[in-house]
Amino acid sequence: MIIPNKLNIGDTIGVVAPSNPIIDDNIEELERAIKIAQKDGFKVKRSKHLYENKCGYGNTPKEKAQDINDMFADEEVKMIWCAKGGFNSSSTFEYLDYNLIAKNPKILCGYSDINSISNMITQKSGIVTYWGANFKTIATDETDYSYKQFKKMLQQGSKKLGEEDDEYETICEGQAVGRLIGGNLSIVKSMVAGKYSLDFTDKILFLEEFGIETPPGLASSYLYFMKQNGVFDKIKGLWLGSYMNESNVPLEKLIEDVLDLPNEKYPFPIIKSNNFGHIEKKIVIPIGVKAKIDTSKEHKIELIEPHVI
């Protein structure tokens, strides 16, 4: 894997909007996030099409991809931070310059719909990308937990996922080593097959889902699609995050139903934590970096190689 440089005070953060448009209240929220970053000593560069909405539901795929390509090509920019999530950032796939990206590795961070871009860029270019708070989130979260995680991981280069008091649950016991892949369940499911499918072989797969938009039946359907297409026959380990739905059916229950646990035996450990997902508490997870699951430990997953230099 190609590891990007860590972020230093005085560095420039490039902000892009490859998913839903930045309109209405989002404009003020994003400008507040810019002020927070600037107050902490960072420079901020807005992408060319950041506030455009030519399609009425976002900018054109070519212009979204152009903004990403431009930020990777810009020697001044040290980190690319995606503004917010949404629904169709995968439309950029055919317009991203993966060779350019590989030659100019830098931090790319975001979550939710942004996971399609981060996972694809890691697979196509070989650079490490990051599941973590979107840029707008640092101005809209009620606490600074996610922003502190950003600083700990991407400024200080910590290999510690989350905090000591984060709680983990064991669904299936065991140990596993593999490169991290994953994120939002609905996004990962959409990348199981087709031209831009992901390679799940020997990976540690991490999954979370936005329960407000995805009821248990639909989340179950996504997981069955993954099972039917052999995903769970390829991975080395599974790490579940947050899924909050009014039904109160947890993600681990859905996994147990889909995989018919404990009746069926899968040769990989499964763990659960509530420190990543569409929640206030969002750690930073490096995609493409080797990690180890060990269910005998209290903190059941750890990075075993650096993710920034």
Which tens digit of pLDDT belongs to each residue from 203-212? 999 999 999 9
pLDDT tens digits, one per residue of 247-296: 999 999 999 999 999 999 899 999 999 999 999 999 999 999 999 999 99
Beta partners for 291?
A: 178, 303
Quote the tokens at residue 45.
């560069």
Q: Strands of the chain (E only): list them.
A: 12-16, 43-46, 77-82, 107-110, 129-131, 168-172, 175-184, 203-209, 237-243, 270-273, 285-287, 290-294, 301-303
Taking the mean position of all CA atoms in its chain, how far away is CA 134? 9
The C-alpha atoms of residue 101 and residue 110 are separated, in whole angstroms, by: 17
Q: Which residues have C-beta within 8 Å of that of residue 134, sequence separation ≥ 6?
A: 81, 82, 83, 84, 85, 109, 110, 111, 112, 114
Instruction: Kindly report the CATH class assigned to 168-303.
Output: alpha beta
pLDDT of the residue at 80:
98
Cβ atoms of 118 and 86 within 8 Å: the answer is: no
Q: What is the pLDDT of residue 225?
A: 98
List, edge to edge, every strand of the sheet that includes 270-273: 168-172, 270-273, 237-243, 203-209, 175-184, 290-294, 301-303
pLDDT of residue 181: 98
Greatest Cα pair distance in the chain: 55
Query: Can you give the pLDDT at residue 48?
Result: 97
The fold of 12-155 is: Rossmann fold (3.40.50)
| Whole-prediction pTM | 0.97
Cross-strand pairs, 127? 2
Q: What is the pLDDT of residue 193?
A: 96
Cα 9 to Cα 76: distance, rounded to the nearest angstrom? 13
Hey, do 12-155 and 168-303 end up sharing a CATH topology, with the first three levels equal? no
| Full strand arrangement of the beta sheet holding 285-287 | 43-46, 12-16, 77-82, 107-110, 129-131, 285-287
Q: Which of 100, 103, 109 is CA-nearest to residue 79?
A: 109
Q: What is the pLDDT of residue 82?
A: 98
End-to-end CA distance of the chain: 12
Phi (first) and psi of residue 29, to 5 degrees = -65, -40
User: Residue ranges of the domains in the chain?
Assistant: 12-155, 168-303
CA atoms within 13 A on the CB side of 107: 35
On the CB side of 63, how many CA atoms lie within 13 Å of its CA?
15
Residues of the chain with pLDDT under 70: none
Q: Write down the pLDDT at residue 250.
A: 96
Pairing, β 168-172 against β 270-273? antiparallel
